[in-house]
Protein backbone atom coordinates (compact mmCIF):
# COMPACT_ATOMS: atom_id res chain seq x y z
CA UNK A 1 0.00 0.00 0.00
CA UNK A 2 1.17 3.52 -0.77
CA UNK A 3 1.81 5.68 2.29
CA UNK A 4 1.54 9.42 2.76
CA UNK A 5 4.42 11.72 3.62
CA UNK A 6 6.60 11.20 6.66
CA UNK A 7 8.63 13.76 8.53
CA UNK A 8 12.05 14.66 7.06
CA UNK A 9 14.93 12.44 8.02
CA UNK A 10 16.66 9.31 6.85
CA UNK A 11 18.62 6.36 8.11
CA UNK A 12 19.76 5.63 4.56
CA UNK A 13 21.95 2.57 4.22
CA UNK A 14 23.81 4.00 1.24
CA UNK A 15 26.77 6.32 1.23
CA UNK A 16 25.63 9.85 2.11
CA UNK A 17 27.27 12.84 0.46
CA UNK A 18 28.69 15.24 3.07
CA UNK A 19 26.05 17.91 2.56
CA UNK A 20 23.68 17.50 -0.37
CA UNK A 21 23.78 20.95 -2.05
CA UNK A 22 20.94 23.08 -0.64
CA UNK A 23 19.65 26.29 -2.21
CA UNK A 24 17.61 28.56 0.08
CA UNK A 25 15.40 30.71 -2.16
CA UNK A 26 14.89 33.23 0.66
CA UNK A 27 18.51 34.41 0.36
CA UNK A 28 19.83 37.31 -1.73
CA UNK A 29 19.03 36.70 -5.41
CA UNK A 30 22.52 37.48 -6.73
CA UNK A 31 24.03 35.01 -4.27
CA UNK A 32 21.48 32.32 -5.12
CA UNK A 33 22.11 32.59 -8.87
CA UNK A 34 25.85 32.10 -8.40
CA UNK A 35 25.36 29.19 -6.01
CA UNK A 36 22.95 27.44 -8.38
CA UNK A 37 25.32 27.69 -11.35
CA UNK A 38 28.27 26.46 -9.26
CA UNK A 39 26.20 23.52 -8.01
CA UNK A 40 24.99 22.68 -11.52
CA UNK A 41 28.57 22.75 -12.79
CA UNK A 42 29.82 20.40 -10.08
CA UNK A 43 26.90 18.06 -9.34
CA UNK A 44 23.98 18.79 -11.68
CA UNK A 45 21.74 18.34 -8.65
CA UNK A 46 20.54 20.34 -5.64
CA UNK A 47 17.79 20.63 -3.07
CA UNK A 48 15.55 23.72 -2.90
CA UNK A 49 14.05 24.99 0.35
CA UNK A 50 11.83 27.99 1.08
CA UNK A 51 10.20 27.67 -2.33
CA UNK A 52 6.67 28.86 -3.05
CA UNK A 53 5.00 25.54 -3.83
CA UNK A 54 2.35 25.40 -1.12
CA UNK A 55 2.36 22.24 1.03
CA UNK A 56 -1.38 21.91 0.53
CA UNK A 57 -0.92 21.76 -3.25
CA UNK A 58 1.70 19.02 -2.95
CA UNK A 59 -0.41 17.13 -0.42
CA UNK A 60 -3.43 17.27 -2.72
CA UNK A 61 -1.55 15.64 -5.60
CA UNK A 62 0.08 13.12 -3.30
CA UNK A 63 -3.34 12.08 -1.98
CA UNK A 64 -4.60 11.68 -5.55
CA UNK A 65 -1.59 9.51 -6.36
CA UNK A 66 -2.04 7.39 -3.24
CA UNK A 67 -5.69 6.82 -4.14
CA UNK A 68 -4.85 5.77 -7.69
CA UNK A 69 -1.97 3.42 -6.87
CA UNK A 70 -4.05 1.71 -4.18
CA UNK A 71 -6.68 0.75 -6.75
CA UNK A 72 -6.94 -2.90 -7.89
CA UNK A 73 -4.54 -3.70 -10.73
CA UNK A 74 -7.36 -4.18 -13.24
CA UNK A 75 -8.66 -0.66 -12.62
CA UNK A 76 -5.21 0.91 -12.92
CA UNK A 77 -4.57 -0.90 -16.18
CA UNK A 78 -7.52 0.92 -17.74
CA UNK A 79 -5.28 3.99 -17.76
CA UNK A 80 -2.65 2.14 -19.81
CA UNK A 81 -0.71 0.79 -21.51
CA UNK A 82 1.64 3.78 -21.80
CA UNK A 83 2.15 5.16 -25.30
CA UNK A 84 4.26 6.70 -23.71
CA UNK A 85 1.62 8.58 -21.67
CA UNK A 86 -0.63 6.68 -19.30
CA UNK A 87 -0.22 3.95 -16.70
CA UNK A 88 2.71 1.56 -16.82
CA UNK A 89 4.04 -1.17 -14.56
CA UNK A 90 7.63 -2.44 -14.46
CA UNK A 91 8.39 -1.86 -18.14
CA UNK A 92 10.39 1.35 -18.68
CA UNK A 93 10.62 2.68 -22.22
CA UNK A 94 10.62 0.70 -25.45
CA UNK A 95 13.86 -1.25 -25.24
CA UNK A 96 13.40 -3.85 -22.55
CA UNK A 97 14.35 -1.87 -19.43
CA UNK A 98 12.60 -3.17 -16.31
CA UNK A 99 12.20 -1.67 -12.85
CA UNK A 100 10.28 -2.37 -9.67
CA UNK A 101 7.98 0.57 -10.30
CA UNK A 102 4.50 1.46 -11.45
CA UNK A 103 3.78 4.90 -12.77
CA UNK A 104 1.48 7.46 -14.34
CA UNK A 105 2.97 9.65 -17.06
CA UNK A 106 0.82 12.70 -17.75
CA UNK A 107 0.93 15.68 -20.10
CA UNK A 108 1.40 19.03 -18.39
CA UNK A 109 -1.05 21.06 -20.48
CA UNK A 110 -4.43 21.78 -18.96
CA UNK A 111 -6.77 20.36 -21.63
CA UNK A 112 -4.87 17.08 -21.93
CA UNK A 113 -4.90 16.65 -18.15
CA UNK A 114 -8.71 16.96 -18.10
CA UNK A 115 -9.08 14.35 -20.85
CA UNK A 116 -6.74 11.90 -19.13
CA UNK A 117 -8.45 12.36 -15.76
CA UNK A 118 -11.65 10.81 -17.11
CA UNK A 119 -9.78 7.54 -17.70
CA UNK A 120 -7.51 7.62 -14.66
CA UNK A 121 -10.07 8.50 -12.02
CA UNK A 122 -13.57 7.54 -13.08
CA UNK A 123 -14.88 8.03 -9.56
CA UNK A 124 -14.07 11.76 -9.44
CA UNK A 125 -12.13 12.91 -12.53
CA UNK A 126 -12.59 16.59 -11.70
CA UNK A 127 -10.92 16.17 -8.29
CA UNK A 128 -7.96 14.36 -9.86
CA UNK A 129 -7.70 16.91 -12.66
CA UNK A 130 -7.70 19.84 -10.23
CA UNK A 131 -5.01 18.24 -8.08
CA UNK A 132 -2.74 17.74 -11.11
CA UNK A 133 -3.40 21.19 -12.61
CA UNK A 134 -2.77 23.02 -9.34
CA UNK A 135 0.50 21.19 -8.80
CA UNK A 136 1.69 21.65 -12.40
CA UNK A 137 0.96 25.38 -12.25
CA UNK A 138 2.92 25.78 -8.99
CA UNK A 139 5.87 23.60 -9.94
CA UNK A 140 6.14 25.19 -13.38
CA UNK A 141 6.49 28.60 -11.73
CA UNK A 142 9.32 27.19 -9.62
CA UNK A 143 10.97 25.76 -12.75
CA UNK A 144 10.81 29.20 -14.38
CA UNK A 145 12.31 30.79 -11.29
CA UNK A 146 15.20 28.33 -11.26
CA UNK A 147 15.88 28.84 -14.97
CA UNK A 148 15.83 32.63 -14.52
CA UNK A 149 18.39 32.29 -11.73
CA UNK A 150 20.55 30.05 -13.92
CA UNK A 151 20.45 32.66 -16.68
CA UNK A 152 21.54 35.35 -14.23
CA UNK A 153 24.29 33.15 -12.82
CA UNK A 154 25.59 32.51 -16.34
CA UNK A 155 25.69 36.25 -17.00
CA UNK A 156 22.84 36.19 -19.51
CA UNK A 157 20.84 38.79 -17.58
CA UNK A 158 17.14 38.81 -18.37
CA UNK A 159 17.53 37.19 -21.78
CA UNK A 160 14.80 34.65 -21.10
CA UNK A 161 16.50 32.18 -23.44
CA UNK A 162 15.87 29.22 -21.14
CA UNK A 163 12.51 30.20 -19.70
CA UNK A 164 10.85 30.79 -23.06
CA UNK A 165 11.53 27.16 -23.99
CA UNK A 166 9.16 25.85 -21.33
CA UNK A 167 6.73 28.78 -21.37
CA UNK A 168 5.69 28.29 -24.99
CA UNK A 169 2.21 26.86 -25.51
CA UNK A 170 3.61 23.81 -27.28
CA UNK A 171 5.92 22.86 -24.41
CA UNK A 172 6.43 19.10 -24.15
CA UNK A 173 6.68 19.18 -20.35
CA UNK A 174 5.39 16.15 -18.44
CA UNK A 175 4.34 15.11 -14.95
CA UNK A 176 5.20 11.63 -13.72
CA UNK A 177 3.98 9.88 -10.58
CA UNK A 178 6.18 6.93 -9.61
CA UNK A 179 5.17 4.33 -7.03
CA UNK A 180 7.82 1.94 -5.71
CA UNK A 181 6.16 -0.88 -3.70
CA UNK A 182 7.96 -2.03 -0.58
CA UNK A 183 10.04 -5.16 -1.03
CA UNK A 184 8.38 -6.73 1.99
CA UNK A 185 4.90 -6.47 0.44
CA UNK A 186 6.19 -7.53 -2.95
CA UNK A 187 7.80 -10.59 -1.43
CA UNK A 188 4.72 -11.64 0.55
CA UNK A 189 2.51 -11.25 -2.52
CA UNK A 190 4.75 -13.45 -4.65
CA UNK A 191 5.41 -16.41 -2.33
CA UNK A 192 3.32 -18.66 -4.51
CA UNK A 193 4.48 -17.27 -7.83
CA UNK A 194 7.36 -18.20 -10.08
CA UNK A 195 10.61 -16.50 -9.00
CA UNK A 196 11.09 -13.25 -10.89
CA UNK A 197 14.45 -13.09 -12.67
CA UNK A 198 13.80 -9.85 -14.56
CA UNK A 199 15.53 -7.59 -12.03
CA UNK A 200 19.10 -8.64 -11.43
CA UNK A 201 19.51 -6.53 -8.32
CA UNK A 202 20.00 -7.92 -4.83
CA UNK A 203 16.54 -8.75 -3.59
CA UNK A 204 15.60 -10.66 -0.48
CA UNK A 205 19.08 -11.59 0.72
CA UNK A 206 20.54 -10.07 3.86
CA UNK A 207 23.53 -7.81 3.52
CA UNK A 208 25.44 -6.83 6.63
CA UNK A 209 22.46 -7.94 8.68
CA UNK A 210 19.98 -5.70 6.80
CA UNK A 211 17.42 -6.34 4.11
CA UNK A 212 18.67 -5.29 0.68
CA UNK A 213 16.87 -3.19 -1.91
CA UNK A 214 15.71 -3.65 -5.46
CA UNK A 215 16.42 -1.26 -8.27
CA UNK A 216 13.16 0.60 -8.73
CA UNK A 217 14.29 2.76 -11.65
CA UNK A 218 17.69 2.14 -13.21
CA UNK A 219 20.61 4.48 -13.77
CA UNK A 220 19.93 7.28 -16.23
CA UNK A 221 20.01 11.00 -16.90
CA UNK A 222 16.87 12.99 -17.65
CA UNK A 223 16.67 14.19 -21.27
CA UNK A 224 14.67 17.37 -20.63
CA UNK A 225 15.92 20.82 -19.54
CA UNK A 226 15.19 20.56 -15.83
CA UNK A 227 13.59 18.02 -13.50
CA UNK A 228 11.80 18.98 -10.28
CA UNK A 229 11.12 16.10 -7.89
CA UNK A 230 9.25 15.72 -4.63
CA UNK A 231 8.69 12.45 -2.77
CA UNK A 232 6.69 11.21 0.22
CA UNK A 233 9.66 11.15 2.58
CA UNK A 234 10.77 7.55 1.99
CA UNK A 235 14.43 7.07 1.05
CA UNK A 236 15.36 5.71 -2.36
CA UNK A 237 16.82 8.43 -4.60
CA UNK A 238 20.53 8.08 -5.33
CA UNK A 239 22.84 10.23 -7.47
CA UNK A 240 26.23 9.43 -8.97
CA UNK A 241 28.57 11.94 -7.36
CA UNK A 242 32.10 12.29 -5.97
CA UNK A 243 32.16 9.92 -3.01
CA UNK A 244 33.89 12.43 -0.72
CA UNK A 245 31.94 15.42 -2.00
CA UNK A 246 35.17 16.75 -3.56
CA UNK A 247 35.43 17.10 -7.35
CA UNK A 248 37.91 14.69 -8.88
CA UNK A 249 37.41 12.04 -6.22
CA UNK A 250 36.02 8.59 -6.99
CA UNK A 251 32.43 8.56 -8.24
CA UNK A 252 29.95 6.52 -6.20
CA UNK A 253 26.23 6.09 -5.70
CA UNK A 254 25.20 8.53 -3.01
CA UNK A 255 21.93 8.28 -1.08
CA UNK A 256 19.88 11.49 -0.98
CA UNK A 257 18.15 11.91 2.41
CA UNK A 258 14.42 12.41 1.74
CA UNK A 259 12.63 15.62 2.63
CA UNK A 260 8.97 15.96 1.58
CA UNK A 261 9.06 19.70 2.30
CA UNK A 262 11.77 20.31 -0.29
CA UNK A 263 11.99 20.06 -4.07
CA UNK A 264 15.00 18.33 -5.64
CA UNK A 265 16.35 19.66 -8.94
CA UNK A 266 18.14 17.64 -11.62
CA UNK A 267 19.92 19.25 -14.56
CA UNK A 268 18.68 17.58 -17.74
CA UNK A 269 20.60 16.70 -20.90
CA UNK A 270 19.09 19.60 -22.83
CA UNK A 271 20.83 22.11 -20.56
CA UNK A 272 23.95 21.06 -22.44
CA UNK A 273 23.01 24.12 -24.50
CA UNK A 274 25.41 25.67 -21.99
CA UNK A 275 28.00 23.79 -24.07
CA UNK A 276 28.72 21.33 -21.31
CA UNK A 277 29.17 23.91 -18.57
CA UNK A 278 26.17 22.57 -16.63
CA UNK A 279 26.09 18.78 -16.31
CA UNK A 280 23.14 16.41 -16.26
CA UNK A 281 23.25 14.12 -13.24
CA UNK A 282 23.10 10.34 -13.42
CA UNK A 283 20.67 9.01 -10.85
CA UNK A 284 18.55 5.99 -9.96
CA UNK A 285 15.81 5.01 -7.51
CA UNK A 286 15.98 2.10 -5.08
CA UNK A 287 13.00 0.51 -3.38
CA UNK A 288 12.62 0.39 0.39
CA UNK A 289 12.25 -3.02 2.04
CA UNK A 290 9.56 -2.01 4.52
CA UNK A 291 7.78 1.04 3.08
CA UNK A 292 6.48 2.09 -0.30
CA UNK A 293 7.76 5.28 -1.91
CA UNK A 294 5.96 7.70 -4.18
CA UNK A 295 7.58 10.53 -6.11
CA UNK A 296 6.09 13.34 -8.16
CA UNK A 297 8.34 14.50 -10.99
CA UNK A 298 7.90 17.47 -13.29
CA UNK A 299 10.00 17.38 -16.46
CA UNK A 300 10.40 20.88 -17.92
CA UNK A 301 10.80 20.44 -21.67
CA UNK A 302 10.66 22.61 -24.81
CA UNK A 303 8.37 22.43 -27.82
CA UNK A 304 9.08 19.48 -30.12
CA UNK A 305 10.29 21.87 -32.83
CA UNK A 306 12.42 24.01 -30.50
CA UNK A 307 15.99 24.39 -31.73
CA UNK A 308 18.50 23.45 -29.03
CA UNK A 309 21.78 25.23 -29.66
CA UNK A 310 24.50 26.69 -27.42
CA UNK A 311 23.55 29.85 -25.55
CA UNK A 312 25.32 33.16 -26.30
CA UNK A 313 28.82 33.32 -24.93
CA UNK A 314 29.06 29.59 -24.20
CA UNK A 315 31.33 28.88 -27.20
CA UNK A 316 34.88 30.22 -27.04
CA UNK A 317 38.27 29.35 -28.51
CA UNK A 318 39.10 27.55 -25.28
CA UNK A 319 35.72 25.83 -25.17
CA UNK A 320 34.64 25.07 -28.77
CA UNK A 321 31.18 23.75 -29.52
CA UNK A 322 30.85 20.28 -27.98
CA UNK A 323 27.44 19.19 -29.28
CA UNK A 324 25.56 19.49 -32.53
CA UNK A 325 22.45 21.62 -32.49
CA UNK A 326 19.22 19.65 -32.61
CA UNK A 327 15.48 19.92 -32.20
CA UNK A 328 13.82 18.49 -29.13
CA UNK A 329 11.97 16.05 -31.41
CA UNK A 330 15.30 14.76 -32.77
CA UNK A 331 16.63 14.27 -29.26
CA UNK A 332 13.49 12.38 -28.20
CA UNK A 333 13.86 10.10 -31.22
CA UNK A 334 17.41 9.30 -30.12
CA UNK A 335 16.19 8.76 -26.55
CA UNK A 336 13.55 6.22 -27.58
CA UNK A 337 16.10 4.31 -29.67
CA UNK A 338 18.44 3.68 -26.74
CA UNK A 339 18.43 1.74 -23.50
CA UNK A 340 17.71 3.68 -20.32
CA UNK A 341 21.30 3.91 -19.08
CA UNK A 342 22.97 4.77 -22.39
CA UNK A 343 24.47 8.21 -22.88
CA UNK A 344 22.27 9.99 -25.42
CA UNK A 345 24.50 13.05 -25.65
CA UNK A 346 27.31 10.92 -27.12
CA UNK A 347 25.27 10.74 -30.31
CA UNK A 348 25.41 14.52 -30.67
CA UNK A 349 29.05 15.14 -29.80
CA UNK A 350 31.20 17.19 -32.15
CA UNK A 351 34.82 16.38 -32.85
CA UNK A 352 37.05 18.88 -31.01
CA UNK A 353 38.75 20.07 -34.20
CA UNK A 354 35.40 20.53 -35.92
CA UNK A 355 34.14 22.59 -32.99
CA UNK A 356 37.25 24.79 -33.02
CA UNK A 357 36.79 25.41 -36.76
CA UNK A 358 33.20 26.51 -36.12
CA UNK A 359 34.45 29.03 -33.54
CA UNK A 360 36.98 30.45 -36.02
CA UNK A 361 34.31 30.73 -38.72
CA UNK A 362 31.94 32.46 -36.31
CA UNK A 363 34.62 34.92 -35.20
CA UNK A 364 35.44 35.64 -38.85
CA UNK A 365 31.80 36.36 -39.65
CA UNK A 366 31.48 38.66 -36.66
CA UNK A 367 34.65 40.49 -37.71
CA UNK A 368 33.23 41.11 -41.20
CA UNK A 369 30.23 42.87 -39.69
CA UNK A 370 32.26 45.31 -37.62
> Mind telling me the catalytic residues?
293
Q: Are strands 263-267 and 45-49 parallel, antiparallel or unpaired?
A: antiparallel
Residues β-bridged to residue 107: 174
Of how many residues is the chain composed? 370
Query: Where in the chain does DSSP place strands (E)?
Result: 15-16, 22-24, 45-49, 86-92, 97-107, 174-180, 206-207, 210-211, 215-220, 226-231, 237-242, 251-255, 263-267, 283-286, 293-300, 307-308, 326-327
Count Cβ neighbours within 10 Å for each residue of 197-211 and write b for 16 or more, e otherwise.
eebeeebeeeeeeeb
Q: What is the DSSP string of 310-328?
A: PPTT---SSS---B--EEH
Amino acid sequence: MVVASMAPGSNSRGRVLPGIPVIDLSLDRSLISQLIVKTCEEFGFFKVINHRVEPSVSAQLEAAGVEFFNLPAAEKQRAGPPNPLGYGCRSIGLNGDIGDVEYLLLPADSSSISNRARIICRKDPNKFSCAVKDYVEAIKELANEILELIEEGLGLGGSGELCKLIRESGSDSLLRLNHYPSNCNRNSNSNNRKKDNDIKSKTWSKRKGRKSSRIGFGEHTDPQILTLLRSNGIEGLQILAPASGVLGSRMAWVAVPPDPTAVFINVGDTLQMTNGRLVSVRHRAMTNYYKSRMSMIYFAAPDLHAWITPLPGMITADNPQRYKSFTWAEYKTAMYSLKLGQNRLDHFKIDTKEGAAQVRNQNSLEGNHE
